[in-house]
Amino acid sequence: MSSSDGLVIIEPVSEYTRQILKLKKIYAVEKTPYQEIVFAELEGFGKALLIDEFVQSTEKDEFIYHELLVHPAMALHPEPKRVLIIGGGEGASLREVLKHGTVEDAVMVDIDEKVVEFSKRFLEVMHRGSFFDPRARVVIMDGLEYVKKTADGTFDVVVMDLTDPYAGPTALPLYSYEAFREIKRILKPEGVMATQAGSSYFYPKEYRQVKENIEKNFKHVAEYWAWIPSFATNVNFIVASDAYDLYGLSAEMFDTRLKSRNVNTKYLVGRRLTAHLSMGVLYG
């Protein structure tokens, strides 16, 4: 919408709060059968991907979200070779997964081909060429259907980079008990799963439901959160495994594993991960 300051977006953060984002420039707009995609520049946040007028990633702070989503799970596994990413159309989660020198095969499954093609063309600042890495493979398909058709014990790590569980009907089935059961099935016995789980502060009921669905399927469940400036809210993350407990991963071991795999991060180091894990869950 327009204002005296120019074009702005009024984005819902919760049922009772909104944030106002000032648009500096719109580079491209595309409508797909699933959603509207916008590549824009936001004042204070730089280049950004918006879907249905909701911020998905911004140049200024996307690394905080994607490093927190990917690296705890990847570091928890002693040698992740095969990794599945469900969602993550802009390629930033794929970028972080491929930083690990142990990775031989990274499959990214996204339901919307237009998002992936759009990201390849306009969002190099986020994917940094990850789509073109020889270890990467992109599959255009519903994520849950892909999981159901995958053989038992195929992957070492599964990363779920989806929209929030309360954002709409497309991603919601992937947060169900049945979906996590299927994800556990396609993991190897020592496999690790990671997901973002929305905001426990603004949507505590929905967050607790996701966590409970995971706890019913996995022996070890760890949770942590971070404030993401461009989202104007906290984002919760959950890492689960039958073999490994993220709470038992020391800061020193986290740093050692990332260093041995030649992983460079801008935000997340061992002491910060330990701090996030020790904060508990933020409830409204």
> What structural domains does the chain harbor?
2-58 (2.30.140.10), 62-278 (3.40.50.150)
pLDDT value at position 171?
81
pLDDT digits 0-9 by tens, 7-50: 898 998 998 999 999 999 999 998 988 888 899 999 999 999 99
pLDDT, the chain, mean: 94
Residue 270 pLDDT greater than 50, yes or no: yes
pLDDT value at position 199?
96
**Residue 33 counted as an annotated binding residue:** no
Tell me the three state secondary structure of residue 193: strand
pLDDT value at position 3?
46
Residue 165 pLDDT greater than 70, yes or no: yes
Token duo for residue 64: 């905080």
> Average pLDDT of 217-245?
97
**Residue 276 counted as an annotated binding residue:** no
pLDDT value at position 70?
98
Catalytic residue (choose from 61, 156, 161, 164): 161
**Whether the predicted model's global pTM rises above the 0.85 cut:** yes
Distance (Å, whole) CA 273 – CA 230: 21
**Residue 112 counted as an annotated binding residue:** no
Cα separations (Å) of 72 from 4, 104, 220, 248?
Answer: 44, 19, 14, 12
Residue 2 pLDDT greater than 50, yes or no: no
47 close to 39: Cβ distance less than 8 angstroms: yes
Percent residues over pLDDT 90 in the chain: 86
Query: Considering Cα of 111, then 165, then 224, then 38, what sign does the dihedral take?
Result: positive
Quickly tell me which residue has 């916008």 as its tokens: 38
* Residue 246 identity (one-letter amino acid): L
**Residue 90 counted as an annotated binding residue:** yes
pLDDT digits 0-9 by tens, 94-118: 999 999 999 999 999 999 999 999 8
222 close to 277: Cβ distance less than 8 angstroms: yes
Q: Are strands 46-51 and 36-42 parallel, antiparallel or unpaired?
A: antiparallel
Residue 72 pLDDT greater than 80, yes or no: yes
**Residue 66 counted as an annotated binding residue:** yes
pLDDT digits 0-9 by tens, 55-69: 999 999 999 999 999
Q: Using 50, 70 and 90 to split pLDDT, how confident is the model at 5?
A: low
Whether 161 is a known active-site residue: answer: yes
pLDDT digits 0-9 by tens, 113-153: 999 998 999 999 999 999 999 999 999 999 999 999 999 99
